[in-house]
């Protein structure tokens, strides 16, 4: 089966499963594969020319208009919708089934609850975070962290630093992506809530799902468990 994947997490998982991925996006970090553009602006003509058996997309990661264009071109689509850790673990089995493999149960490792409140910045200008309706929040919940922005209406709410000061989270977990925070940005955060501990974490471990999820939980627990 020839596969084009437009979802970095799924690309990584498919390769882990031994799938024949023939192309992916430039964000998938698979330099040995040809890329067909970005997640939000894939080269539809290039994908069609590759004549894949299936194209992998995700409800949030990719645009509906691109999915429609690929479908109109006669290509088979597999569209994931990952919001929780349970969704991610199920997706590993679904992708294994898709490529004709044998799905095996995937279980998130049990960890000692961290028991700390946490803020996760994902952008600056404006400052943004994640709500409880995201995969990253589900991972943090599994770790026993209380996300201070969990009740936000928007999955990726804008945040004012005076709000952060009022929340005074135990931990500010600064991911390595999607935004590249430098030391000056960390000083801004620390000045707004001096008693919070700032910890840098692997953004892929927090936001990429699939084959890395079980081991990512262990790494994140080690990074955030300050007690």
Q: Looking up tokens 């404006």, which residue turns up?
A: 126
Mean pLDDT of 101-106: 78
- 124 confidence band (pLDDT: 50, 70, 90): very high
* Calpha distance 157→154 (Å, rounded): 5
Mean pLDDT of 107-124: 95
Handedness of CA 23, 42, 67, 47 (dihedral sign): negative
Q: Looking up tokens 């501990």, which residue turns up?
A: 197
Instruction: Report the alpha-carbon angle 199-200-206, nearest 5.
Output: 110
> 140 and 213 share a domain?
yes
Of the three residues 71, 98, 125, the one that is the final residue of a domain is: 98
> 147 and 71 share a domain?
no
Tokens of 33: 């594969």
* Calpha distance 180→178 (Å, rounded): 7
Report which secondary-structure segment, H or E, holds 161: helix 161-167
Q: Residue 106 domain-assigned? A: no
> 20 and 50 share a domain?
yes
Quote the number of domains for the chain: 2
Q: Judge whether residue 88 has pLDDT over 90.
A: yes
Does residue 8 contact residue 40 with C-beta atoms inside 8 Å?
no
Q: Residue 208 domain-assigned? A: yes
CA 92 distance to own-chain centroid: 14
What local confidence, expressed as pLDDT, does residue 153 receive? 95
> 65 and 123 share a domain?
no
What local confidence, expressed as pLDDT, does residue 1 receive? 95
> 122 and 220 share a domain?
yes
Q: Residue 62 domain-assigned? A: yes
Q: Residue 89 domain-assigned? A: yes
Q: Residue 35 domain-assigned? A: yes
* Calpha distance 5→39 (Å, rounded): 9
> 173 and 219 share a domain?
yes
Of the three residues 46, 70, 98, the one that is the final residue of a domain is: 98
* Calpha distance 220→69 (Å, rounded): 38
Q: How many other CB atoms sit within 10 Å of the CB of residue 42?
A: 26
Of the three residues 67, 98, 129, the one that is the final residue of a domain is: 98
Whether the bond between 225 and the residue before it is cis, its omega within 30 degrees of 0, is no
Handedness of CA 121, 39, 5, 131 (dihedral sign): positive
Burial class (CB in 10 A: 0-12, 13-18, 19+), 124: middle
- 121 confidence band (pLDDT: 50, 70, 90): very high
What local confidence, expressed as pLDDT, does residue 226 receive? 82
Tokens of 197: 């501990």
Q: Residue 169 domain-assigned? A: yes
What local confidence, expressed as pLDDT, does residue 127 receive? 98
Say which CATH number the domain at 53 has: 3.40.50.1980
- 106 confidence band (pLDDT: 50, 70, 90): confident
Mean pLDDT of 8-27: 96
What local confidence, expressed as pLDDT, does residue 139 receive? 97
* Calpha distance 29→193 (Å, rounded): 35
Q: Residue 9 domain-assigned? A: yes
> 87 and 139 share a domain?
no
> 130 and 87 share a domain?
no
> 88 and 6 share a domain?
yes
* Calpha distance 227→113 (Å, rounded): 11
User: What does the pLDDT look like over 152-204, one tens digit per residue?
Assistant: 999 999 999 999 999 999 999 999 999 999 999 999 999 999 999 999 999 99
Q: Judge whether residue 104 has pLDDT over 90.
A: no
> 55 and 124 share a domain?
no
Q: Residue 108 domain-assigned? A: no
Domain that holds residue 145: 117-224
> 141 and 180 share a domain?
yes
What local confidence, expressed as pLDDT, does residue 105 receive? 73
3-class secondary-structure state, position 113? coil
User: What does the pLDDT look like over 125-148, one tens digit per residue?
Assistant: 999 999 999 999 999 999 999 999
> 155 and 220 share a domain?
yes
């Amino acid at each position: 089966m020839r596969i084009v994947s437009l979802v970095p997490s799924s690309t990584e998982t498919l390769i882990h499963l031994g799938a024949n991925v023939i192309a992916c996006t430039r964000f998938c970090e698979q330099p040995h594969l040809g890329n067909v553009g970005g997640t939000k602006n894939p080269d539809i003509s290039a994908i069609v020319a590759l004549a894949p058996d299936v194209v992998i997309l995700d409800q949030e990661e990719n645009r509906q208009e691109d999915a429609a264009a690929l479908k109109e071109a006669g290509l088979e689509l597999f569209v994931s919708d990952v919001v929780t850790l349970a969704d991610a673990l199920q997706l590993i089995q679904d992708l294994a089934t898709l490529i004709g493999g044998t799905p095996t149960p995937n279980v998130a490792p049990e960890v000692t609850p961290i028991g700390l409140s946490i803020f996760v910045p994902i952008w600056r200008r404006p400052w943004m975070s994640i709500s409880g309706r995201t995969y990253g929040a589900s991972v943090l919940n599994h770790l026993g962290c209380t996300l201070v922005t969990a009740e936000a209406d928007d999955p990726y709410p804008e945040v004012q630093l005076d709000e952060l000061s009022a929340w005074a989270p135990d931990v500010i977990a600064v991911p390595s992506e999607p935004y590249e925070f430098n030391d000056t940005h960390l000083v801004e955060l620390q000045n707004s809530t001096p008693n919070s501990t700032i910890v840098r974490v692997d953004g892929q471990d927090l936001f990429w799902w699939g084959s890395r999820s079980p081991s990512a939980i262990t790494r994140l627990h080690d990074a955030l468990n300050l007690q």
